[in-house]
Amino acid sequence: MDRELAEKTSLLALKIGAAMDNNLALIKDGCSEQEFKNYQQATGKVMGELLTSFMNPIYEQHPSLKPKKMGGEYEVDPKIYK
């Protein structure tokens, strides 16, 4: 994958992860504690798979795209999360 496409794909994955995390905050007070734990576990599995199978291969091929929050050097514009 060329760098430009890899960058767009990485940013999309970061947006997806942020949206899933934000969704947990939204549903926390709208369901039972057990339901929330179930959603939290499922979200963790999806986000883990997103990282290991989707994002990490991009960062292996293009290390300069690895975000600072993940130990890399890429500065992610916070506006992408809005």
Spatial distance between the Cα atoms of 80 and 61, rounded to a whole number of angstroms: 22
Show the domain range for 10: 3-81
* pLDDT, average across residues 73-81: 91
pLDDT at residue 15 greater than cutoff 90: yes
Q: Which residues contact 24 (CB under 8 A, 6 or more apart)?
A: 36, 39, 40, 43
Query: What value does the mean pLDDT of the chain take?
Result: 95
The pLDDT-based confidence of 59 (bands split at 50, 70, 90) is very high
pLDDT at 70: 94
pTM: 0.87
* pLDDT, average across residues 60-75: 96
**Count of domains forming the chain:** 1
User: H or E stretch including 47?
Assistant: helix 33-49
Spatial distance between the Cα atoms of 43 and 19, rounded to a whole number of angstroms: 11
pLDDT at 81: 82
